[in-house]
Amino acid sequence: MNLLARLLRSGAKLRFKALRLATIKHIPTGKFNTLLESLIRSGWKRTYIYDGMDAWIDYGQVKLKKDGVRLNCEWDNWNEGSIEGPASDIQEIGERYGLRVSGEWRWSESDPKP
């Protein structure tokens, strides 16, 4: 990985920690879709839906907002679904749906290991 890419990824990881964010990673596709529908039914509003040429074939993204809290929901055909947001909200979602919460940025596991 080149120096610029490493710097950008380090910045993203630092931002993630500084903002006290958390992620639920590797949510199976069916469960991810059910979870999204459930969140929307419980009052979360869609503020963005990725509609690129490969939408929901290779990659998908939905951003949700409720009471000033924002969630970033992403799906790809390699890692399946993830939800990122403030740690307290993600922890609550994880507990409610029986999903494991991580304090790491979604893409951090893609970094080469030393």
E strands in the chain: 21-27, 45-49, 59-66, 69-76, 80-86
Q: Enumerate the β-bridge partners of residue 70.
A: 65
CB count within 10 Å of CB 56 equals: 16
Distance (Å) of CA 90 to CA 43, 76, 82, 99, 114: 16, 19, 11, 10, 29
How do the pLDDT tens digits run along the chain, 114 residues long?
588 777 776 777 777 787 799 999 999 999 999 999 999 999 999 999 999 999 999 999 999 999 999 999 999 998 899 999 999 999 999 999 999 998 876 666 555 544
Domains, the chain, ordered by start? 3-107 (3.30.160.110)
Q: Provide the whole-model pTM.
A: 0.83
